[in-house]
């Protein structure tokens, strides 16, 4: 059994997430496809105070890149599809087979919590579903804007994501149940079409067994996470595999299988309770220290809060939905990755008209602030300049610091860079 220090485990996890060493000098669409294939899922989010999360994740691994590549890989090349994989995400099309069962289970009567909650709505609104499907069959792909609100419909509450149009909810249900797929996005707007049109090669006879599905997704998650405990495994694809230690639960069985097949080896990490599994391919590589970069709060390195806390001793909470007066770190603060540790957060905002990126606040972890030296601030300044260019900004403004001197030292580093 491997014996790992916490630092060694973190380095393996960072290497598995393609965040070790410098980013490639020349990103390509093929590399972007390979990154998404390796990660297994690229979470999509609509927050746009800076570039959207999915592009930040790609920037952290590829550097500045044309945004159209991602949408071409999805809508033109058909190399990706959208579905619930951890959350709404781009997923490699070859993994469609491992999510098809989930779609059909959502469609069956009350077989899942989601299905049972929706059954009453579906029973009362069958005409909405029929309207959508008739329109799609006759006219091709549709978006939420393809349908008007019912005559006399009241104004929707601000929190009602589907607005005052039942067709919005109907489209989401038809997508979740696999009747429709996302054909493409235009200006971030989803366009839906029949699954047989978007993915005509698919046949439901190809659905793998549950065990094959679990083993395959487990192997993808192990490859992308690098170091896995049974309690961490289910969160990667948000699967119902059980969260206990290796004791016969699905997570334990999957990891045992991956060890038996040679995809993983058992390990103990000093400072973390229990028995882990490490992806075998990582043991054949020399993994350099991580690059200095900013991470989306929806980055797959940190999206599991328990794992982030246990492995990095870093508490991450998205404050976008927290009242402004109650926020500690900012609306969309980005974790700072530096030499195998998460050392702080930066709260950015891009003014695209003025072409100014503002770092409204820089928060360093209390344990790290006394250790932050010139090398750190210089590397963060370089990263921030690249992030500004990525956001189409020419100028950078630094706001507050925690501790206060961190803002001053970052400004000085920006001037010297």
| 83-99 residue pLDDT tens | 999 999 999 999 999 99
Residue 333 near residue 346 (C-beta atoms within 8 A): yes
Taking the CB of residue 67, how many other CB atoms lie within 10 A of it?
A: 12
| pLDDT (0 to 100) of residue 151 | 75
Distance CA 306, CA 315 (A): 9
pLDDT at position 108 over 90:
no
pLDDT, average across residues 46-53: 96
Place of tokens 């589907």: 162
| pLDDT (0 to 100) of residue 250 | 87
pLDDT, average across residues 258-266: 98
CA 238 to chain centre: 12
Alpha helices in 72-209 (DSSP H): 97-107, 113-124, 126-139, 166-176, 195-198
pLDDT at position 158 over 60:
no
| pLDDT (0 to 100) of residue 52 | 97
| pLDDT (0 to 100) of residue 72 | 97
Average pLDDT, the chain: 92
pLDDT, average across residues 385-403: 97
Q: Which stretch of 70-74, 100-104, 198-202, 362-366 has the lowest confidence by average pLDDT?
A: 100-104
Distance CA 392, CA 352 (A): 7
Distance CA 171, CA 177 (A): 10
pLDDT, average across residues 243-257: 71
pLDDT, average across residues 181-203: 97
Among residues 299, 306, 312, the alpha carbon closest in space to that of 235 is found at 306
* Residue 107's pLDDT band (cuts 50, 70, 90): confident
| pLDDT (0 to 100) of residue 247 | 44
* Residue 243's pLDDT band (cuts 50, 70, 90): very low
Q: Taking the CA atoms of the chain, what radius of gyration do you get in angstroms?
A: 23
pLDDT at position 416 over 90:
no
Residue 295 near residue 335 (C-beta atoms within 8 A): yes
| pLDDT (0 to 100) of residue 114 | 53
| Percent with pLDDT over 90 in the chain | 83
More confident residue, 120 or 260: 260
Q: What is the DSSP string of 19-31?
A: -BSPPPSS--HHH
| pLDDT (0 to 100) of residue 163 | 64
The DSSP 8-state label assigned to residue 292 in this structure reads P
The DSSP 8-state label assigned to residue 142 in this structure reads B
Reduced to 3 states (helix: H, G, I; strand: E, B; else coil), residue 95 is helix
């Amino acid at each position: 059994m491997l014996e790992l220090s916490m630092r060694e485990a973190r380095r393996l996890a960072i290497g598995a997430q393609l965040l070790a060493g410098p980013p490639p000098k020349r990103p390509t669409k093929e590399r972007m496809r390979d990154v998404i294939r390796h990660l297994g899922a690229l979470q999509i989010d609509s927050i746009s105070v800076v570039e959207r999360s999915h592009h930040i994740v790609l920037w952290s691994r590829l550097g500045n890149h044309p945004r159209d590549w991602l949408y071409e890989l999805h809508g033109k090349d058909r190399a990706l599809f959208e579905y619930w994989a951890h959350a709404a995400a781009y997923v490699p099309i070859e993994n469609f087979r491992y999510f098809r069962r989930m779609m059909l289970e959502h469609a069956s009567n009350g077989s899942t919590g989601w299905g049972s909650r929706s059954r009453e709505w579906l029973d009362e609104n069958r005409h909405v579903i029929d309207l959508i499907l008739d329109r799609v069959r006759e006219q091709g792909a549709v978006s939420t804007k393809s349908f008007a609100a019912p005559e006399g419909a009241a104004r929707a509450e601000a929190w009602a994501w589907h607005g005052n149009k039942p067709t919005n909810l109907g489209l989401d249900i038809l997508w979740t149940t696999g009747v429709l797929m996302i054909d493409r996005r235009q200006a971030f707007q989803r366009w839906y079409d029949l699954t047989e049109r978007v993915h005509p090669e698919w046949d439901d006879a190809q659905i793998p067994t549950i065990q094959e599905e679990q083993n395959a997704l487990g192997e993808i998650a192990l490859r992308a996470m690098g170091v896995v405990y049974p309690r961490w495994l289910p969160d990667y694809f948000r699967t119902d595999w059980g969260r206990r230690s290796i004791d016969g639960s699905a997570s334990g069985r999957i990891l045992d299988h991956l060890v038996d097949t040679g995809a993983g080896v058992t390990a103990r990490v000093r400072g973390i309770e229990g028995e882990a599994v490490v992806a075998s391919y990582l043991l054949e590589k020399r993994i350099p220290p991580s690059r200095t970069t900013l991470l989306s709060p929806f980055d797959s390195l940190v999206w599991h809060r328990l794992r982030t806390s246990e492995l990095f001793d870093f508490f991450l909470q998205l404050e976008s939905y927290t009242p402004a007066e109650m926020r500690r770190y900012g609306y969309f603060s980005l974790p700072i990755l530096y030499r195998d540790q998460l050392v702080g957060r930066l709260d950015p905002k891009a003014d695209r008209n003025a072409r100014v990126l503002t770092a409204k606040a820089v928060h360093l972890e209390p344990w790290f602030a006394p250790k932050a030296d010139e090398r750190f601030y210089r590397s963060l300044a370089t990263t921030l300049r690249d992030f500004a260019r990525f956001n189409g900004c020419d100028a950078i403004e630094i706001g507050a610091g925690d501790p206060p001197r961190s803002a001053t030292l970052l400004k000085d580093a920006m001037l010297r860079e």
